[in-house]
Amino acid sequence: MHFVLIAILILGVSTAQAATPAAWKSLDTAARTGCGREIVRLATKAKVRDVTGKVSGIGEARDSDRYYALILDGRTAGFKSQWLCLYDKRSKQATAREIETH
């Protein structure tokens, strides 16, 4: 439940701008790799296909650009799956959870 509330807050955050297109590409690549690794760790049969959403500039007021979020689509054991992943830009660690859709 706590993770769902965080996800809702993330969607309301405005995006920050990176210094260059190369910086965005580097961040995207690092986040996608870290998130993919974390998703497979959680569900060994998961296959991540596409990034369908991105949010940057997430963090507390004094540290408003620590996290980068991705919404990823794919499949787990043959079924459609979707995940929300927070990528910590400082520690280079990803935290992912499957989004339940009904």
Express each pLDDT in 51-76 by its tens digit: 999 988 788 777 778 999 999 999 99
pLDDT at position 8: 42
Helices (H), 1-102: 2-11, 21-42
Cβ neighbors of 77 (< 8 A, separation 6 or more) are 43, 45
Predicted TM-score (pTM) of the model is 0.75
Report the greatest alpha carbon distance in the chain.
43
